[in-house]
């Protein structure tokens, strides 16, 4: 092997290794984009309220992706320790906020289970708890054994008179992730709350698949360009009569 060929081969090996490492590094980097996170809520996580708020509101870190007037992919449920439901089944979406009418029952802990569609188009879900400590139980509402359906009887309107504002919500997934930083435990009687909640890790959420493909293709393009350049140098060295 000529000196020029040996030199080109010496260049090729580390160049290929560097390009391959670069391409592989693009894949985990593509997963660093975070879904929208729950920034605030009312009632808030861990809060103790003394009056039935009538409405539950959730505010996220970015504008949520609601397509037209539909609420596909959005759901909010409010359950007590027995798994009874106190949400209306309707949700209203405005920019980064979601609201739903609620009507609480007896004093005690309540679990909020939510699902929304992030601005990146991916669904994300979570849970948190708050406490209800009214001065009197007069006017306490009776919960439903099943999740409420928008426009049908619910805890706040057991006779179905007057549908609350908002659009029908989607079903909450059977095992939603808990909101980051919360220690909420799903109700054992509620299938929709899930059997076990895990901390929501938004830092590891992935980019859309098409974006990952484009990034990987860009890395492979860099690799191909390096290979072509090195092979040209090898051929040029082989044609050199010296």
- pLDDT tens figures, 97-130: 999 999 999 999 999 999 999 999 999 999 999 9
Q: In the structure, what pLDDT confidence band is assigned to residue 10 with cuts at 50, 70 and 90?
A: low
169 pLDDT more than 90: no
Q: How far is CA 6 from CA 11, 32, 145, 165, 223, in A?
A: 9, 41, 77, 76, 20
Contact 87, 114 (CB under 8 A): no
* ∠ Cα 154 183 53 (to 5°): 35
50 pLDDT more than 60: yes
Q: Phi and psi dihedrals of 99, rounded to 5?
A: -130, 150
Q: In the structure, what pLDDT confidence band is assigned to residue 15 with cuts at 50, 70 and 90?
A: low
State the average pLDDT for the chain: 75
Dihedral, CA atoms, 51, 193, 34, 57, nearest 10 degrees? -20
217 pLDDT more than 60: yes
Please enumerate in sequence order all residues whose Cβ is within 8 A of that of 200, keeping only pairs 6 or more positions apart, or say none. 37, 124, 125, 126, 177, 178, 179, 180
pLDDT at 54: 97
pLDDT at 57: 98
Q: DSSP letter at 160? A: -
Q: According to the per-residue pLDDT averaged within each range, which of 58-67, 107-116, 153-162 is highest?
A: 107-116
* pLDDT tens-digit series, residues 24-49: 555 444 444 568 899 999 999 999 99
Query: What are the tokens at 19?
Result: 């390009």
Burial class (CB in 10 A: 0-12, 13-18, 19+), 91: buried
Q: In the structure, what pLDDT confidence band is assigned to residue 195 with cuts at 50, 70 and 90?
A: very low
């Amino acid at each position: 092997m000529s000196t020029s060929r040996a030199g080109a081969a010496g260049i090729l090996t580390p160049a290929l290794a560097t390009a391959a490492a670069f391409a592989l590094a693009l894949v985990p980097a593509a997963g660093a984009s975070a879904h929208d996170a729950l920034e605030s809520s009312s009632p808030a996580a861990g809060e103790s309220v003394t009056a039935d708020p009538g409405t539950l509101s959730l505010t996220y870190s970015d504008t949520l992706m609601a397509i037209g007037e539909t609420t596909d992919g959005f759901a909010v449920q409010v359950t007590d320790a027995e798994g009874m439901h106190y949400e209306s089944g309707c949700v209203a979406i405005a920019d980064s906020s979601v609201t739903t009418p609620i009507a609480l029952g007896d004093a005690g802990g309540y679990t909020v289970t939510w699902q929304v569609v992030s601005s990146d188009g991916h669904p994300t879900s979570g849970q948190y708890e708050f406490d209800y400590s009214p001065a009197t139980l007069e006017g306490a509402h009776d919960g439903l054994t099943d999740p409420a359906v928008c426009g049908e009887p619910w805890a706040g309107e057991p006779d179905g008179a007057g549908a609350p504002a908002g659009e029908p919500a989607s079903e909450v997934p059977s095992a939603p992730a808990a909101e980051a930083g919360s220690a909420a435990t799903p109700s054992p009687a509620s299938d929709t709350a899930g059997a076990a909640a895990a901390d929501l890790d938004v830092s590891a959420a992935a980019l859309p698949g098409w974006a990952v493909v484009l990034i990987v293709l860009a890395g492979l393009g860099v690799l191909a360009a390096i290979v072509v350049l090195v092979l040209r140098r090898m051929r040029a060295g082989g044609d050199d009569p010296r």
